[in-house]
Amino acid sequence: MEVLFKVIRQQQNSSPVVQTYLLEAEPGNTILDCLNRIKWEQDGTLAFRKNCRNTICGSCGMRINGRSALACKENIGSELARLQQISSPKTQSNTIPEITVAPLGNMPVIKDLVVDMSSFWNNLEAVAPYVSTAARQVPEREFLQTPLERSLLDQTGNCIMCGACYSECNAREVNSDFVGPHALAKAYRMVADSRDRETENRLENYNEGTKGVWGCTRCFYCDSVCPMEVAPLEQITKIKQEILDRKQASDGRSIRHRKVLIDLVKEGGWIDERQFGLQVVGNYFRDLKGLLSLAPLGLRMLVRGKFPLSFEPSQGTQQVRSLIESIQKIES
């Protein structure tokens, strides 16, 4: 079958251009196979990264039809089937199928599909992704782990540092302090490692401002694109839980946000937004600056008749409460 490849090409500091290549391909050919053939048979100037060709090295991350993925994992057949699923019947036609390939997002382009991953590696470094040296004072011969302790590292250990999650991360796009999903997945791997002795310091570090776990907007993109099922958002949530277990609501706005939310939902079945603002931003009337920052919004809502003067608990409060209590019981 004929497939039209649209490759978004770019030189450093210049605007991207779309270049098309027509290729005879089989449904089982991977996107990387096709790019190799384009490079070898049609255009030797096309730049992209590759190495293992087998979903191991993480080199060939790129955006394929709009989502970040590994070029050696996706193939023509699966891509076209995916496109068919997401496009409306009106846009499906009998013309030559097209596959668009672009560089990863959130990182500057060096050339064509090759991006500068410096920020990706620097952010990984920022979470101290090594088992603490204190734990390396070898007791006898080696540090033993039970199979259960080791199994806690399996999922995050599968990360091949491909950058797909980082490329799609909404938080990273707007907040250059945020270290990104790959780094926080690795951070959880360190927290979960029975040999590491730095858990408390690590949790303090990952709790700081919006560079760590509280910078995540929970958009779920990292989980949905990760080719290795590392589920970074899931790991971020586990770190948050470790932090919440150790902290009080007064220890910071992010902590308060989570604790107050649960308390209010438990109390009334849904959130009383008035209480929420006062308790989270106003820190239970202790934070005058925070309270004053709410005043303009509160006044505007009052003027427009949108400020709720009373709060009605939801009809399902009892059920919601017992659900939360059951989960809290399991967690404790």
Q: How far is the CB of 187 from ligand SF4 (least distance, A)?
A: 11
Residues numbered 204 to 223 that lie near ligand SF4 (CB under 6 A) are: 216-222
Residue 178, class by beta-carbon neighbours within 10 Å (0-12 exposed, 13-18 middle, 19+ buried)? buried
HSE-up of residue 124 (Cα within 13 Å, Cβ side): 17
Are 113 and 48 in contact by the 8 Å Cβ rule? The answer is: yes
Q: How far is the CB of 190 from ligand SF4 (least distance, A)?
A: 14
Q: How far is the CB of 215 from ligand SF4 (least distance, A)?
A: 8
Residue 101 host element (H or E):
strand 98-102
**What residues pair up with 20 in beta bridges, in sequence order?**
6
Q: Where are the alpha helices (DSSP H) in 230-272?
A: 232-246, 253-268
Q: List the one residue out of 158, 162, 153, 157 whose CA is nearest residue 121.
A: 162
Q: List the one residue out of 40, 92, 49 whose CA is nearest residue 72.
A: 49
Q: How far is the CB of 49 from ligand FES (least distance, A)?
A: 8
Residue 222's alpha-carbon distances to 58, 123, 288, in angstroms, are 15, 16, 37
Residue 171, interface with ligand SF4 (CB under 6 A)?
A: yes
Binding residue for ligand FES (CB under 6 A) from 38, 70, 107, 222?
Answer: 70
Q: How far is the CB of 280 from ligand FES (least distance, A)?
A: 43
Residues numbered 71 to 100 that lie near ligand FES (CB under 6 A) are: 72
Q: How far is the CB of 109 from ligand FES (least distance, A)?
A: 19
Residue 50, interface with ligand FES (CB under 6 A)?
A: yes
The whole-angstrom separation of Cα 301 and Cα 319 is: 31
Binding residue for ligand SF4 (CB under 6 A) from 25, 32, 35, 228?
Answer: 228
The sign one gets for the Cα dihedral 260, 263, 267, 270 is: positive
Q: How far is the CB of 12 from ligand FES (least distance, A)?
A: 23
Residue 244, interface with ligand SF4 (CB under 6 A)?
A: no
Name the packing angle between helices 199-206 and 181-192 (round to 10°).
160
Nearer to ligand SF4, 67 or 82 (CB): 67
Determine the interface stretch with ligand FES among 48-56, 83-91, 250-258, 322-330 (rule: CB under 6 A): 48-56
Size of the site for ligand FES (CB under 6 A): 12
161 makes contact, choosing from ligand FES, ligand SF4, none, with CB < 5 to 8 Å by partner type, with ligand SF4
How far separated are the first and last CA of the chain, in Å rounded? 58
Per CB under 6 A, residues contacting ligand FES are 50-53, 55-60, 70, 72
Per CB under 6 A, residues contacting ligand SF4 are 159-165, 168-171, 181-182, 185, 216-222, 226, 228, 230, 232-233
